[in-house]
Every structure is written in C-alpha cells, then in structure tokens.
C-alpha cells in the first residue's frame, strides 16, 4: 500500500450548483456529499472511477485509478460512508493508492468482494515494455493482503509478450475462486477474448482452460478483428457467461455485440450458440458493443451497451438473450435529443421493483453523464426524472462519463466515473422523496386580528411528497388547553365554531406514509369580537316611519349568525319590551302605533354567548289615524299564504273602498278600486314573497291592513 504524501495529495469536495425540481426521482440526493455529489482530486489530473460496490451498511467502495506525476497511474480504492463522507477508518483517510510496479501505469477496471469483505481490483499494469493482467487483494480496512500472490498482487502474462488487460472480475461465493475476463492483444488488428480463474491465494487454477486461462478463438485464423470480454457472471455450477464485443478495426464504427459461455473447466459450452460464442449485428457497420449483463437463474440474460442508429448517432441499447444464445423478446433502447449524440451504457443494474437502470455517457467531443431507467418490460420509465433520462455535466468544458452503477435497497442510484480530471461519485433519488419540512404556513397571517370566528380557512404551502397533513389549533400556545386537530389531504383546513374575541394558536406537520415531519413554527390569530358592528337604519331620530313597514338594519358582525334585537316605547326598555332573535342583520317591524317614539338596540351572538348591547337608537312613526278596531274586525282575507287569487270579505257589507298591495319597502305594486261584499284580487302577476294589503275608505282613512305571503 502506498499512502498519500500531504504535499502531493489534494482531496477536495467541489461545490456543484444544480437546480432541483423539489425532490423528485432522478434528482441528486441532497443528503449525499455536497448536494448529491462527491468529486475527488487525489492528484492533479486523470482521476477516474471505474467500479463500485455498495455494502450492507450503506457504505460504498469505489475503484479506479489516479495519475501521479511521480508514480504514474496507480490503482485507486476509495471508501465513502453512506452520506458520502470519507471513511477515515479505511486506508489513508478513506483512500488507498497502489503502485503495482515502480513507475508502472496501473489501471483498475473492475472490483469484486468476497464473503469476508475482502476487496479485489482487476485491470492491468504496464511497465513500459509489457502490459500484463493484474489482480490486487485488499483487506476490508484497505490493507494489502500479503498472503495473496506477491505482497497482495498477482500479475499475469496470458500470452507471453502480448498486451493483456482485465475488464471484469467476479468471486464465486461457493468456491471463493476468482474469475476474470478481458482481452489479449496480438496485433493492432487482432486480439482474443480471455477468461481466467484464480484460486483464493492468487494462483491460476489447473483444470480450467490451459493452466487457468481460457483464450477463446472464435476463428483461429481471424487476424482482422479485436475481441474483448467486458463483463462476466458465474452460476453455482461453475458456468461462466460473458459479454463484450467484436470489432473490425479496418472499418470505422464496425463492431458487433458478443456473448460467450464456458463450462466450469473453461471449455466452450456447445449448448450455447452451438460453439459457445455468438455475435449480434445490430445494424450493418454499426458500432454495437456490450459492456455489462444481468444473468438470470435459468441462464437467460440481459446485456447492455451502445447501439448504432446512424453514422452520427448511437443510443443506449439492451436486449435479452435466451439460454441457447439466441435473441429473446426483451429489449430496451433510449436515445438522447442531440443529433450528434453518441450514447453508450457501461453498466446495467436491476432495482427492487424489477426496473432496469443503465448508466454511461452521451455526447460528442464533450460528453455528459447519462442514466436511463426502463420498466420491467424494457419501456422507458417516464416516472423517473424528465422522460426517464438523466443527463448531467458537472464541468461543462470537459468530458464527463459514468462507468459504474449501484442501486441501494431504497432504490437510490449511486454512480461513479469522472468529471474532467476529478474522480466522480453521485447519488440520485430512485423515487420521489417527500420533503416533509419544506413548506410554510400562509394564511391567516401570523398575528392577524378580527378573524371570522364562525369559519376560517387555515392555509399553508404544499410539502412535496406529503400524503396528508396534521393541523392543530388551541387557545394555548403549548397546545395543552383544548387542542383540536384534523388530518386533511390538501394544504387547507376549514375551522368552525371558534370562540369570539379569542387568540388561537395553530401549527401543521406533513405526513408521508408512516413518516411524520416536524411541526411548523406556531402562528396565532385573534377572532373577531361580538361588539364590532354599528346600527344603520332607520337613522337615529328618524321620523315618519311607516307603522306596518319599518325595517331595522345593522352591520354584519363578522362571524355572528345570530342576533337579539329589542324594541320598546321606553328608552329603558321597561314599558313593554319585545325581544326577537334573528339570523340576519335586519328585522321588520309592523303593527306599530302612529305618532309614537320607539327605541331599539341589538347585540350579536356566537352561538354560546352574546356581546354587549349596541347604542340605543330611536325613531318616530308617521302621523295618521289609527285603524278603528271595530271596523278592522269586519274584514277578512283568505287564503293566506296565497297562490294567485286572494279573497276579501266584509261582514258589514262595507263597499266603496280602495285596496292597495305594497312590497316591504312600501312601494305600491297593485291597486284595486271599490270592492263589494266579497271581492277577488288577482295576485298572479306578483312574484313570490311578502307583501302588505291596505284597505282605505273614500277619505283615505286606513280601515284595515294585513301581511300577505305569495307562494
């Protein structure tokens, strides 16, 4: 292990400004690193993450390489805590750099863990004259395992003098054997895919291939193609399934997807594509390459990579392969909007809901990181991010790519790669995440007065992802007097039947499932009192008020739905006071005495209590002759209420009188002259409502009056 000299090491968390659309799926997770992002710069340039493993405790291991001006490229292993902070108990403050050979260029492309938590990085080491396959083993705390190979390192030259590179590594959880895949380059136009197997101590396993190495020839005489294994998976029976690509370098952008299956002894499985190797041509002369796979228990698998659309555009591509190597029915594809976008998926993972996540890069000269999520059927998941896609660039003037992907138990998506010169790890939300404390109370404003005590809407802003809310109100700021609560699903609550002239306190918290947010700050409001109104009409001291049609009116007292009105001929209301309870802010007086002074007052109620009496006002009725009770008793009207026809009779046979019908405001709406002993008055032209009937003699003296209800 090589530690980092303080003068040569720069570890930085870069601040990245990212616009969040609340906390919807596909947003960077603000609880990780710096608003979802960790950028590390162990050396000044060329720091790349190529592999990722998420551990049971939520911590994560990231493998790759860093470029030191003194030591060249070195294997780099980083451990982060679940929140994205460096794990100081691992290596040198969370990092381990390994120089395989002094000054050699050492690149780690893949990582695997065994059941004991030991860590393996696989890639290559180039000493300037030869590039060899390399596997390094670390303890769970980042120390080199000196019992593995030579001082924790295994260097292999699969075909002497040729260029070897490992792209993938898997540990058999049954045997503990280490399985790796990659390529052996023979010339610039010829390479062979390789699968090798190591024992737990780092020695090649006899009985697998040729001395532990299976150099695979699809065509031994093919000198025109480059082959490589990019990813492999192991079944408990020891069979290995691998994917990669076959490239024809003589023609630009001419490669085919490739899959391989070998038996536990390294021989090709002839039940798979007849000879154990199959290639798939997406489009003629297309640059079709597979970089990762998901293997099912029935030996079917899904592979992911990049697929040809046209000479200027490539898209994320995935498709299913049957156990016999033929193409299955499952497929997935997603293109990005740019007309020159070259999109490649380097990793595929399946989440807890059987959705498939692809991660890689998209772009032309300047690349962006790219993530796409598909549903179980391979359709783009429109519920994830905008249109199922994430495209981000954390350094807009440079290249950004992702090579590794991991999915947590809560379906959060962790990705690793590079941004410019920085080692990149980011975490995205896989599901909409409730922001239960990110909302505010709105109305009534804090400290408001004169609030309607009969009905008031409490309003607040929406909390993203909340299923419902709990709102609480009380006359105590500690909510311990008589607290009341409700659980609305929307950000509004109607509160009724409050006390008048009372200060109330209220607060809200958001709820998502069984998760409860914090209570908001407590706001207050004071309800309207019972004395906040004035008398209106008739004006104080008014004269000539109609004895059968005087309407008392006063202002509405906000919140009150009941009033008591009292009137009398005595200012002390001790002569013959009449007390009425009404639900509106008016009351009609009739059958008053002419030329008389009346006094009246009103008080408002809240359903339980009444306020103070208003000021006392007075009015004087009109001058006139009182109806002679003897004459009045001779008249009768019927039916009352009436539909259309009203009948008037006189027991004394009085005739030669006038009949007037007025509305409640005293306006004449109908008149009839000279009635006989029995008269019929047609009211069909009148609207439904209340009216007054007057009978006057020839001199205009009022003989009779009555209230009529038209229905």
Under 8 Å between Cβ of 106 and 125: yes
**Spatial CB neighbours of 633, under 8 Å, sequence gap ≥ 6:** none
Interval 192-204: pLDDT, tens? 999 999 999 999 9
Q: By residue range, what is the domain housing residue 685? A: 629-710
Task: Let me know if residue 198 belongs to a domain.
Answer: yes
Instruction: Look at residue 443 in the predicted model and tell me its pLDDT.
Output: 97
pLDDT at position 397, please?
66
Q: What is the predicted pLDDT for the residue at 16?
A: 36
| Residues 287 and 344 placed together within one structural domain of the fold | no
> Is there a single domain that holds both residue 3 and residue 139?
yes
Token duo for residue 48: 């790349």
Q: In the prediction, which pLDDT does 225 show?
A: 84
Pair (279, 383) in one structural domain: no
Question: The domain that contains 574 carries what CATH number?
Answer: 2.60.40.10
CB 229 within 8 A of CB 242: yes
What lies within 8 Å, CB to CB, of 374 at 6+ separation is 318, 332, 334, 355, 356, 357, 358, 380, 381, 388
My answer on whether 129 and 162 are in the same domain is no
The model's pLDDT over 550-563, given as tens digits with 9 standing for 90+, comes to 999 999 999 998 99
Q: Are residues 601 and 652 in the same domain?
A: no
CA distances from 575 to 567, 571, 572, 599 (A): 10, 9, 8, 11
Q: What is the CATH number of the domain that holds 662?
A: 2.60.40.1930
302 in the same domain as 289: no
Q: Do 667 and 637 belong together in one domain?
A: yes
Domain count, the chain: 6
pLDDT of 7 reads 24
- Alpha-carbon distance 583 to 11, whole Å? 75
What pLDDT score was predicted for residue 706? Answer: 82
Could you identify the residue written with the tokens 């000269």? 365
Phi/psi at 25 (nearest 5 deg)?
Answer: -60, 140
Q: What local confidence, expressed as pLDDT, does residue 694 receive?
A: 84
Same domain, 641 and 660: yes
Specify if 22 maps to a domain.
no
Is 512 part of any domain?
yes
| 93, part of any domain | yes
Identify which of 394, 337, 387, 332 has the alpha carbon closest to the alpha carbon of residue 362: 337
* Predicted local confidence at residue 255, as pLDDT: 86
Judge contact between 164 and 228, C-beta under 8 A.
Answer: no
Q: Both 61 and 135 in a single domain?
A: yes
Domain boundary among 343, 370, 400: 400
Amino acid 710: pLDDT: 92
Q: In what order do the strands lie in the sheet with 289-295?
A: 289-295, 301-310, 313-321, 327-334
Q: Is position 679 within any domain?
A: yes
SS3 679: strand
| End residue of a domain, out of 242, 260, 293 | 293
Asked if 1 and 112 sit in the same domain, the reply is: yes
What is the rounded distance in angstroms from the CA atom of residue 576 to the CA atom of residue 599? 11
Neighbours of 228 (CB within 10 A): 24
pLDDT, position 622 = 83
Residues 1 and 131 in one domain: yes
Residue 207 falls inside a structural domain: yes
Instruction: For the sheet with 422-428, list strands across it.
Output: 37-40, 422-428, 413-419, 400-407
User: And the tokens for 262?
Assistant: 């070998």
Q: How far apart are CA 19 and CA 134, in angstroms?
A: 42
What are the tokens at 504?
A: 């109330």
Q: What does the pLDDT read at residue 312?
A: 62
| The last residue of a domain, from among 457, 492, 527 | 527
**3 shares its domain with 120:** yes
Q: Which helix (H) or strand (E) holds 565?
A: strand 562-568
Question: Could you tell me if residue 27 is inside a domain?
Answer: no
Supply 648's token pair.
């008037």
| pLDDT at res. 624 | 56
Residue ranges of the chain whose pLDDT lies below 50 = 1-21, 625-626
Residue 251 belongs to a domain = yes
């Amino acid at each position: 292990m090589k530690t980092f000299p303080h003068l040569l090491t720069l570890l930085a968390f870069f601040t990245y400004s990212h616009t969040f659309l609340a906390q919807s799926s596909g947003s960077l997770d603000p609880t990780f690193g710096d608003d979802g992002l960790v950028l590390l710069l162990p050396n000044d340039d060329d720091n790349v993450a190529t592999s990722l493993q998420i551990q049971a405790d939520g911590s994560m291991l990231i493998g790759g390489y860093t470029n030191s001006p003194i030591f060249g490229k070195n294997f780099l292993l980083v451990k982060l805590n679940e929140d994205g902070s460096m794990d100081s108990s691992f290596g040198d403050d969370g990092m381990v750099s390994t120089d395989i050979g002094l000054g050699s260029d050492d690149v780690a492309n893949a990582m695997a863990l065994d059941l004991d938590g030991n860590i393996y990085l696989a890639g290559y080491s180039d000493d300037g004259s030869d590039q060899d396959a390399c596997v390094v083993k670390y303890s769970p705390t980042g120390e080199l395992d000196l019992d593995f190979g030579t001082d924790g390192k295994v260097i292999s030259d699969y075909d002497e003098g040729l260029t070897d590179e490992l792209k993938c590594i898997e540990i058999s959880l049954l045997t503990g054997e280490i399985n790796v895949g990659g390529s052996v380059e023979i010339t610039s136009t010829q390479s062979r895919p390789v699968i090798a197997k190591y024992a737990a101590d780092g020695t090649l396993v006899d009985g697998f291939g040729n001395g532990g190495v299976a150099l695979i020839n699809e065509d031994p005489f093919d000198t025109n193609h480059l082959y490589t294994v990019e990813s492999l998976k192991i079944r408990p029976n020891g069979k290995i399934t691998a994917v990669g690509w076959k490239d024809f370098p003589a023609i630009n952008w001419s490669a085919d997807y490739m899959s391989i299956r070998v038996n536990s002894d390294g021989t090709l499985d002839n039940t798979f594509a007849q000879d154990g190797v199959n290639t798939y041509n997406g489009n003629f002369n297309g640059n079709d390459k597979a970089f990762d796979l998901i293997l099912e228990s029935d030996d079917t698998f899904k592979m992911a990579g990049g697929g040809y659309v046209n000479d200027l555009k490539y898209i994320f591509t995935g498709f299913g392969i049957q156990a016999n190597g033929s193409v299955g029915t499952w497929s997935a594809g997603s293109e990005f909007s740019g007309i020159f976008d070259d999109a490649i998926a380097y990793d595929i993972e399946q989440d807890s809901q059987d959705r498939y996540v692809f991660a890689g890069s998209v772009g032309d000269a300047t690349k962006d990181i790219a993530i796409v999520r598909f549903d179980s059927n391979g359709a783009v998941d429109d519920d994830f991010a905008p249109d199922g896609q994430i495209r981000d660039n954390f350094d807009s003037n440079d290249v950004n790519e992702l090579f590794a992907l991991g999915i947590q138990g809560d379906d959060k998506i962790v990705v690793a790669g590079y941004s410019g010169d920085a080692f990149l790890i980011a975490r995205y939300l896989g599901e909409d995440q409730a922001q239960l404390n990110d909302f505010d109370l709105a109305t009534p404003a804090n400290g408001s007065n004169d609030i309607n005590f009969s009905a008031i809407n409490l309003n607040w802003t929406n909390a993203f992802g909340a299923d419902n809310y709990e709102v609480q109100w009380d006359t105590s700021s500690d909510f311990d007097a008589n607290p009341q609560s409700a659980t609305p699903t929307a950000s509004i609550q109607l509160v009724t039947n409050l006390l008048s002239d009372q200060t109330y306190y209220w607060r809200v918290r958001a709820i998502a499932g069984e998760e409860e947010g914090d209570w908001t700050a407590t706001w207050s409001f004071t309800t309207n009192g019972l004395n906040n109104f004035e008398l209106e009409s008739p004006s104080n001291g008014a004269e000539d008020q109609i004895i059968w049609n005087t309407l008392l009116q006063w202002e509405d007292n906000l919140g009150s739905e009941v009033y008591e009105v009292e009137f009398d001929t005595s200012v002390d209301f001790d002569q013959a006071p009449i007390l009425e309870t009404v639900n509106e802010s008016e009351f009609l007086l009739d059958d008053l005495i002419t030329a008389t002074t009346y006094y009246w007052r009103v008080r408002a109620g809240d359903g339980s209590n009444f306020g103070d009496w208003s000021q006392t006002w007075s009015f004087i009725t009109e001058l006139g002759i009182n109806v002679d009770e003897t004459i009045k008793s001779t008249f009768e009207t019927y039916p009352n209420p009436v539909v259309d026809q009203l009948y008037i009779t006189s027991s004394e046979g009085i005739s030669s009188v006038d009949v007037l019908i007025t509305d409640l405001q005293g306006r004449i709406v109908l008149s009839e002259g000279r009635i006989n002993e029995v008269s019929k008055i047609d009211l069909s032209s009148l609207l439904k409502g209340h009216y007054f009937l007057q009978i006057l003699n020839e001199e205009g003296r009022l003989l009779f009056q009555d209230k009529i209800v038209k229905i």
